[in-house]
Amino acid sequence: MNDTINHINFDVESIRKDFPILNREVNGKPLVYFDNAATSQTPRQVIDVIVDYYTNYNSNIHRGVHSLSQEATDLYEQARLKIQEHVNAKYNHEIIFTSGTTHGINLVATGFSSLLKPSDEVLVSALEHHSNIVPWQMLCERTGALLKVIPMNEEGELVIDTYENLLSEQTKLVFVNHISNALGTINPIETIIKKAHKVGAAVLIDGAQSCPHIKPNVQELDVDFYVTSAHKMCGPTGVGMLYGKEEWLRKLPPYQGGGEMIAEVTFEKTTYADLPHKFEAGTPNIAGGIAFGAAIDYMNKVGFDVIATYEHKLLEYATAQLLAIDGLKIYGTAKEKTAVISFNIEHIHPYDIGTILDKMGIAVRTGHHCAQPIMDFYKIPGTVRASFAFYNTKAEIDALVQGVKKAKMMLS
């Protein structure tokens, strides 16, 4: 396994030098960061862009004729173009800057409040993060539409036959994550989108967990909406993007009112700006947007194919090593999954394991991972989740395995 990893044209030690935080210690131990599904770490190339913005051209955008404003505007709009190219959107105005995935989902959910009626139905999968459940519940409460759930099986995969049976002429919206944050399952979104479109339903894909590992092609997918966050893919927190097909973005009303999203304002009537500004009220996270573009540049330079191959080898190695521990069970064993392992050890609470690992400098996530219905399905309070990135190593996985063994010995 180690030989296979080493033969990939990828120098992980060189990559690790780009991430200053990986040099620090936690509780007197070298940091082992396995909470990448929550937030990835940020390379100095992106940090430098943020510092450069505030040092050299901090200014509001789109509104000023002075040089700083024009420089900031140009760099911000260049970042939009980078995102457009990255996801292969047809038009740059189909890319809406948001504060993150949750913002993008709520923008769409609120917009559909004026388009749904009580006889309509919306489908959401059993594998969703709370951010892709609660907004749709709120939408159904506002409109009277019916929320239906696409079930999952023991392996953590969606039951596609049941999904097909749930679809009907009443189905107006389908919401599914590309990859499960709790289990790592890669959902067959191409099939899901195609079948939804056959009954005239629109589809929103939560790409928060996929974009760090997969380069989505929104035109090829023919998806109606796709959302993600920069902080999952080596960028800053507080910024993300919503891709929406132009035809849908023109149908939806503005999400917020204020500056930037208007064409003309009088006390009698306000007319709205064209896309994308219609959905971008107020002063945005300018430094974050520019840094989002820099993060995409960085990951593309590393190469998404290389990232996916390397992370899959880490996943295979970690899975084999962890399963060798007596009493350890992995939740989420889909044939197609990304570098996430959720596990428990029988008779030991996941929080206790996570606490001991932290004392050893190993950062994992414990709990229900904002995916409580998944935990209810398995009848467990939560899991220990180790999520890997391309800057992690086999040696760090060995440290995790030894840490879990120590936790088991202490807590049994």
> What's the token pair of residue 251?
């149908």
The Cα angle at residue 77 between residues 71 and 79, in degrees rounded to 5: 105
C-alpha span between 218 and 228 (Å, rounded): 13
Cβ of 23: how many Cβ atoms within 10 Å?
10
CB 138 within 8 A of CB 274: no
Q: Which of 140, 211, 234, 370 is catalytic?
A: 370
What would you report as the CA-atom Rg of the chain, rounded to the nearest whole angstrom?
Answer: 22
Is 234 annotated as catalytic? Answer: no
- Burial of 354: CB neighbours in 10 Å, binned 0-12, 13-18, 19+: buried
Q: Which positions are catalytic?
A: 370
